Amino acid sequence: MKVLGLSFGRKMKCGEIMVKEALFKAKEAGADVRFINTVDMNIQHCKGCGACSAARDRGKEVKCIIKDDYEILEQAVLDADAIVIAAPVYAIAPVGQFKNFIDRFGPSRDRAALLAEQDKRKKEGKPLLDERNFKDRYVGYISVGGASTQNWVSLGLPSMHIFGFSLKMKVVGQVDAYDQGRKANPLFDEELMKQVGELGKRVTEAVGKPYDEVEWFGEEGTCTVCHNNLITVGKSTTVECPVCGIKGKLSIVDDEIKVEFSEKEQKRARNTDIGLQEHYEEIQGMIEVCVPKLMAAKDTLPKMLEKYKNFEEEINK
């Protein structure tokens, strides 16, 4: 069983120390462990070229065409059975390098699209996609913040969940390690070190378990699926978990806010087969609407675009 530890923070600083502690406990629980610090890696941002998904849909292996260190991380993630990730909070949300990785990994590794393509290849007897795309994987998140208050790390943990959606990874637990500034070193906080160690043990022990048998490790949170406290509130009592994309009913009982998510909604959260399939069908539907529109306008659209192509000339007229 392979457990991968990733830190997107500085070398031998908070995130790295906490992930290494998680790996020590993962090893004790029987895992083969590997650690990567990404800070000096060159992971450029997605340029939106679509080459990765085009390759997938044209019978090839999924591959990003940007030549940098992305593939090292991508392969490490695909190889792993379980992953513990620490990302520092920069400007209230996880550091940009982490998001750069997700933007390239997520859309190209969309499980629903990969499954549809794999079925097609099986029927046509074509070379199959990498089986690592289809295995169950377990993940634990550690958000690292310097500020002493949680409201300066509010988008840390919720945003980290985007990492595992596309490959339907099971989130085993999470640790909100804020207040690192005053702590000086996570090693001075025994309770925190215990928590991250336990996270490493839990992700290891989760490997191979059916997802609904994995016990959550961390605070319960308002959302019963992702256990985060981020809720989108409009004018009605129907609210939404922006992490899972599911609707719930808000009520106030004895001055306490409660949000109930029906079984049906919980089953269509973003990191479920139903949720991923919904999004896949939405994209297919989008293509069906958009392509005929473009075909019908193939003579008129280039003329409409002239003004925007020659922007500098036009704006200075």
User: Residue written as tokens 């961390």?
Assistant: 218
Query: For ligand FMN, which residue of 90, 134, 216, 280 counts as binding (CB under 6 A)?
Result: 90
Per rule CB under 6 A, is residue 146 in the interface with ligand FMN? Answer: yes
Comparing every residue's Cβ against ligand FMN, the nearest one is 9
How far apart, in whole angstroms, are the C-alpha atoms of residue 16 and residue 183?
Answer: 15
Region binding ligand FMN by CB under 6 A among candidate stretches 9-17, 53-61, 217-225, 299-307: 9-17
**Binding residue (CB under 6 A) for ligand FMN from 3, 4, 6, 14:** 14
Among 3, 5, 6, 13, contact with ligand FMN (rule: CB under 6 A): 13
Minimum CB separation of residue 212 from ligand FMN in Å reads: 33
3-state secondary structure of 56: helix
How many chain residues bind ligand FMN (CB under 6 A)? 19
Q: What is the DSSP string of 195-239?
A: HHHHHHHHHHHHTTS-GGGPPPBS---SSTTT-----B--SSSEE
How many Cα atoms occupy the beta-carbon half-sphere of 35 within 13 Å? 20
Among 88, 221, 245, 275, binds ligand FMN (CB under 6 A): 88
Whole-Å CA distances, 33 to 24, 36, 170: 8, 10, 19
* Window 153-212: residues binding ligand FMN (CB under 6 A): 153, 178, 180
Minimum CB distance to ligand FMN, residue 81 (Å): 24
Q: Which of residues 262-291 bind ligand FMN (CB under 6 A)?
A: none
- For residues 86 and 19, the answer to whether their CB atoms sit within 8 Å is yes
Indicate the residue among 14 and 84 with the shorter CB distance to ligand FMN: 14
Q: Is 218 in the site for ligand FMN (CB under 6 A)?
A: no
- CA–CA distance, 272 with 246 (Å, rounded to integer): 11
**Residues 31 and 61 sit within 8 Å (Cβ to Cβ):** no
- Closest approach, Cβ 20 to ligand FMN, in A, equals 11
HSE-up (13 A, CA, CB side) for residue 225: 29
List residues binding ligand FMN (CB under 6 A).
Answer: 9-10, 13-16, 88-92, 144-147, 152-153, 178, 180
